[in-house]
């Protein structure tokens, strides 16, 4: 049974013996009252700290008065139940977790300190209402949850730092790669313009070189555009504008565009795309499929066939581009999706490229919640498949 304290030291009326002796206190005052007799001392032996002590302990006589009052009024303090205690600890843990999700740094520390203060204040109010809360346990709970939160925040910051370092390294690599890619057309432009400035060059050759400068500078612009697209997509600033798209007309359009490109190698493109609907960003998905089609043409010998197909399979929509081209060695199949990676050997070496197309395709498809698969054998051709979630 727990003593319920009526108030701080001095709540019960105190009368000194000397005042009885000198007559300043009246014996009438004690009628119908329970009187406790005792000696109060300022020394620590007589003083105890109670939940209502503020700085100085309560004297033994006052404590006895509180004990008697508690028993007579049957007004015992009720300790918080185990369920209540567990609930309180769960709430403290939950609030700590919530804080780490929405707050950082000094605000997070402030929130934890505020929670500690609230626990003490609420316990004090509960005490006055006759309920004894385990303040110590609750504060330990807060410290433990706070420490876990602190470790969590440290882990988050460390992860973010590692990510930013990785991004920085990747960025530096990209800058180097793009500088390298820009150098080639730039060198050609520089060399050609030097030749043009020589007055002895015949007019016919001059216009030929001018044409080459024009072609190289266009290539340069294209390269920079593609690079910027990758950048914007990687930083998430190229937002998807998804809508329900029928693959049949979209692929028909791409087929017509790709046929203009494949004509130079007399490559036939056959499309078999039914009316399948996907939720996708039309421009980006077209870009990805067109890239696979032009790659199939680029990396195939003349007079071969490229197939563009689409099928629904369970919870996925599969869009495939298959060719009868040079194929890709198993060791290279993963690397070709890396930015600026080009196989650059064998017959494929003569084809122009930046090694950025497939990286872009992969990025686009993964932004749509899908993946790109490759199935290829050297000398036998390749099949690239875009797997998108089927929302039908």
- Cα 276 to Cα 246: distance, rounded to the nearest angstrom: 6
Shortest spacing between CB 289 and ligand ADP, in angstroms? 13
Looking up tokens 């509960």 gives 126
Of the two residues 5 and 340, which places its CB atom closer to ligand ADP in the complex? 340
Find the angle CA(372)-CA(375)-CA(378) to the nearest 5 degrees. Answer: 135
- Tokens of residue 226, six digits: 């593609």
Give dist(CA 59, CA 11) in Å, integer: 12
CB of 155 to ligand ADP, least distance (A): 35
C-beta of 255 vs 296, nearer to ligand ADP: 296
Scan residues 342-371 and list those touching ligand ADP (CB under 6 A): 342-343, 348, 353-359
Residue among 269, 325, 370, 387 that touches ligand ADP (CB under 6 A):
325
With CB under 6 A as the contact rule, the residue among 285, 382, 386, 387 that binds ligand ADP is 382
**Smallest distance, ligand ADP to C-beta of residue 339, A:** 8
End-to-end CA, the chain: 67
Nearer residue to ligand ADP within complex by CB, 163 or 218: 218
CA 279 to chain centre: 24
Residue nearest to ligand ADP (CB): 353
- Give the three-class secondary structure for 391: coil
Binding segment toward ligand ADP, per CB under 6 A, in 103-111, 169-177, 246-254, 340-348 = 340-348
What is the pairing mode between strands 58-59 and 277-281? Answer: unpaired
Q: Which stretch binds ligand ADP (CB under 6 A): 144-152, 206-214, 227-235, 336-344?
A: 336-344
Nearest to 313, CA basis, from 254, 386, 255, 240: 386
Among 336, 365, 386, 388, binds ligand ADP (CB under 6 A): 336
Closest distance of CB 362 from ligand ADP, Å = 9
Regarding 328 and contact with ligand ADP (CB under 6 A), the answer is yes
Binding range to ligand ADP, per CB under 6 A, among 60-68, 132-140, 173-181, 339-347: 339-347
Kindly identify the residues of this chain, within the stretch 250-309, that bind ligand ADP according to CB under 6 A: 295-296, 299
Q: Rounded to whole angstroms, what are the CA distances from 287 to 235, 253, 370, 373? A: 19, 12, 15, 17
Q: Which residues of 210-238 are buried (b: 16+ CB within 10 A; e: fewer)?
A: eebbeebeebbeebeebbebbeebbeeeb
Q: Which of 260, 309, 314, 253 is nearest to 286 (CA)?
A: 253
Question: CB 386 → ligand ADP: shortest distance, Å?
Answer: 13
Q: Can you give the binding site for ligand ADP, defined by CB under 6 A?
A: 295-296, 299, 323, 325-328, 336, 341-343, 348, 353-359, 382
């Amino acid at each position: 049974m727990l003593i319920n304290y009526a108030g701080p030291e001095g709540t019960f009326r105190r009368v000194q013996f000397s005042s009885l002796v000198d007559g300043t206190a009246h014996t009438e005052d004690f009628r119908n009252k329970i009187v406790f007799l005792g000696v109060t001392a300022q020394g620590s032996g007589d003083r105890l700290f109670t939940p209502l002590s503020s700085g100085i302990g309560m004297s033994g006589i006052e404590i006895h008065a509180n004990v008697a009052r508690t028993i007579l009024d049957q007004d015992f303090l009720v300790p918080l139940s185990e369920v209540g205690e567990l609930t309180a600890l769960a709430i403290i843990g939950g609030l700590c977790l919530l804080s780490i999700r929405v707050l950082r740094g000094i605000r997070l520390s402030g929130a934890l300190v505020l929670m500690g203060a609230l626990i003490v204040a609420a316990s004090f109010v509960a005490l006055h209402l006759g309920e004894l809360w385990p303040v110590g346990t609750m504060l330990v709970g807060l410290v433990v949850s706070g420490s876990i939160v602190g470790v969590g925040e440290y882990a988050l910051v460390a992860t973010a730092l590692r990510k930013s370092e990785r991004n920085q390294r990747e960025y530096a690599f990209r800058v180097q790669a793009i500088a390298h890619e820009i150098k080639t057309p730039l060198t050609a432009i520089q060399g050609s313009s030097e030749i043009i400035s020589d007055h002895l060059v015949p007019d016919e050759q001059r216009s030929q070189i001018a044409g080459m400068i024009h072609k190289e500078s266009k290539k340069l612009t294209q390269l920079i555009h593609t690079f910027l697209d990758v950048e914007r997509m990687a930083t998430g600033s190229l937002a998807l504008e998804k809508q329900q798209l029928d693959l049949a007309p979209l692929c028909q359009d791409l087929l017509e565009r790709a046929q203009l490109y494949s004509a130079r190698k007399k490559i036939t493109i056959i499309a078999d795309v039914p009316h399948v609907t996907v939720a996708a960003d039309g421009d980006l998905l077209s870009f990805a499929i067109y890239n696979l089609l032009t790659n199939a043409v680029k990396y195939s010998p003349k007079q071969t066939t490229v197939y563009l197909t689409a099928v629904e399979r369970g919870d996925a929509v599969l869009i495939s581009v298959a060719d009868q081209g040079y194929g890709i060695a198993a060791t290279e199949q993963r690397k070709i999706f890396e930015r600026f990676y080009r196989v650059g050997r064998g017959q494929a070496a003569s084809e122009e490229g930046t090694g950025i197309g497939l990286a872009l395709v992969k990025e686009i498809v993964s932004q749509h919640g899908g993946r790109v698969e490759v199935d290829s054998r050297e000398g036998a051709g390749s099949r690239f498949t875009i797997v998108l979630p089927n929302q039908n």
